[in-house]
Amino acid sequence: MRTEVNRLEILANITPLIENTAMRYNLIPIEIDFSKENHRWFLRIFLYSKERDITLDDCENVTRSLEGFLDELIPVKYYLEVSSPGLERKFKSEKEFIIFKGRRISLKLKEPLEGETEKIFKGELVDYDTNEGLTFFRFDDGVQLNIPKDNIQSAKLYID
């Protein structure tokens, strides 16, 4: 028997539960993904903490706290994966620009800024505004740039 799955409805139902559970451990779920791959459903939760690195214990605590509740909200068999986002992961939402404010990032633009030739910069994410875009402090010359959000191709954390 096939069960019809409304992926977006399931995400809407489970997101508050996941956010509240992560918050109990001082963690932030920066991405929650429920998708089907090779005929199998996967629920992937990527956790972040402003104070410390994510540990295996953090992932286990969140997993154990969620297991029984998620089974009631997800009508199909699924695989649960809880992890940190990793250093090389590209930002996937505007929320991440806000969460990672003050951190070093690598930024790739769609088009060079006026008067510039380069499209890839390393620097500090100074601020982010959902309407205006981001304020960025470029390391190589110490210049602060304002970058419209529609010119951002990709961004990720940058580690020396």
Encode burial over 60-72: b for 16+ CB neighbours within 10 A, e otherwise: ebbeebbeeebee
Q: Model's pTM, two decimal places?
A: 0.78
Same domain, yes or no: 100 and 72: no
- pLDDT, tens only, 101-128: 988 999 999 999 888 888 998 999 999 9
Based on the fold, state whether residues 12 and 74 are members of the same structural domain. yes
Among residues 34, 38, 30, 45, which one has the least CA distance to residue 5? 34
Domain tally for the chain? 2
Q: What is the pLDDT of residues 37-55, one digit of tens each?
A: 999 999 999 999 988 889 9
Are 46 and 100 contacting, i.e. CB atoms less than 8 angstroms apart? Answer: no
Domain boundary residue among 51, 83, 115?
A: 83
